[in-house]
Amino acid sequence: MLSSLLKDLSVMANGIAKDILGDSSDNSATLLQDIAKLNVPPVFMPLYNSAYRYKVAYGGRGGAKSESFARLLLRISLERKVRVLCTRSVQKSIKDSVHKLLSDIIRQYELDSYFKVTNIGITSFNGSEFIFKGISGNQVNSLRSVTNINYCWIEEADTITTSEWQLLVPSIRAAGSEIWISFNPMHDDDIIYREFVLSKPDNALVIKVNYTDNPYLPEVLRVKAEQQRLADEDLYKHIWLGHTTDIIGDYAPFKNLATIDINYWPDYGTSAFIDPAFDGRDLVGLSILYRKRINDGTIEWLNHAADFDFNIEGKIEFLINYLLNFNVSKLYIEATGNSGLVARLFTDELERLGHYMHIVKVNATQSKVDKIMSNLLPIASQLYIDTSGSPNSIKGWRFRDRNGKPTDNDHAIDALASHVKAIMHYSQYDGIYDG
């Protein structure tokens, strides 16, 4: 089967080479040979030789999804003049994009004579372009100026939010344009998983690809997958077979996720932590905690997690009323450049409303991931999390992606980690209430 597919590719590429380079047999043969270097596992070939609006590849680690998408799009860019938008949810710099992957393939297969690689983009000898942009927050506005996109590749699409997806799709509007989507599934309520796996539209080609479908899989990865299967089959199914999961990245076994009735909350001993946001480019992270010692002497932590997409300055009264619903008596505020202002705003508004909270400013001295790992994991089995506070809260538990890098969907869990750390630090003032 593989040899037949490669033969078909050679025939197609031969005709394309003549169209591009004319009748020069030497030039045509050289391009044909170079295009043939960009081979992929057979499971990906329908992406190359079929016409669909959406082309989706999902599955576990080791399936060569990103590598194969990159090779096929490079191949297409040599065959005809196209504009390719390479995007992802968060791209703070070109280093966050697939620019390096594409550049590495160009160098690896000595295709430098066909491509010009710069720090911001890639162009081919026939005028094809690769453009790299993020789509989260204010970045999505820049997409409106990018026109005539023939191919849009969304990498790590499991992190795409519903609003980002709804803004992106209309921006890819050239006749015959295609949206290519690659991802490792995380949660079954993620927009891309719902859209293309749970309910596949007619204009989509969707393939599931795992390491078992990759004939080029390095032996070291096969061994690692088998070790994972023997050590933890549930984690193996998520990481290597592309099953959805309720864990956070590769870590953090928080399983006590629920919607907790507000009447369950006690009427004393509750504190809150707020991570402020001012300019609309970030979310306000909120954590409300109550802890108690139960009959066997262990401590249970009850947490209400939330995040809010607004400038905190105009929402102080809203937040105070939100906290009073949980009978919060102590408020920790993360020390930022504007934390003094926030503390004053809360103090003034509490006084106006006739309420009092003990307000403490605390410094964030750890990175987000370190803070989460050191403060939350040790109490994971005793932590009960109410995720009803915000539509963004569930996303917030994904504090680290499958490559071990921090995500930007971490506001609620970051506030919770800071909150636990603050309580531990001020434990001489915050008692543990017997229940």
3-state SS assignment for residue 360 = strand
Tokens (6 digits) for 170: 């209309």
Domain boundaries 257-434, corresponding CATH code: 3.30.420.240
Q: What pLDDT is stored for residue 251 in this prediction?
A: 35
Distance separating alpha carbons of residues 386 and 302, to the nearest angstrom: 8
Q: What pLDDT is stored for residue 74 in this prediction?
A: 95
CA angle 71, 141, 199 (to 5 degrees): 60
Distances (CA, A) of 291 to 294, 420, 431: 10, 10, 9
Q: What pLDDT is stored for residue 340 in this prediction?
A: 72
DSSP 166: H
Q: What pLDDT is stored for residue 198 in this prediction?
A: 92
Question: Could you report the average pLDDT of every consecutive run of 10 residues in the chain (435 residues)?
Answer: 46 46 59 82 92 96 94 94 90 80 93 91 94 75 78 90 86 94 86 92 96 93 90 83 65 44 58 76 76 67 76 82 88 75 87 90 70 71 65 44 48 80 64 31
Q: Could you tell me the pTM of the whole model?
A: 0.58
**What architecture (CATH level 2) is domain 40-218?**
3-Layer(aba) Sandwich (3.40)
Q: What pLDDT is stored for residue 5 in this prediction?
A: 46
Tell me the per-residue pLDDT of 50-69, one tens digit each, with 9 for 90 and over: 999 999 999 999 999 999 99
Tell me the per-residue pLDDT of 312-339, one tens digit each, with 9 for 90 and over: 777 888 899 989 888 888 898 887 666 6
Distances (CA, A) of 139 to 93, 144, 149: 11, 10, 17
Distance separating alpha carbons of residues 270 and 264, to the nearest angstrom: 12
**343, 384 in Cβ contact below 8 A?**
no
Distances (CA, A) of 70 to 40, 73, 358: 10, 5, 55
In DSSP notation, 65-126 reads: HHHHHHHHHHHHHHHS--EEEEEES--SSGGGSSHHHHHHHHHHTT-TTTEEE-SS-EEETT
End-to-end CA distance of the chain: 66
**246, 235 in Cβ contact below 8 A?**
no
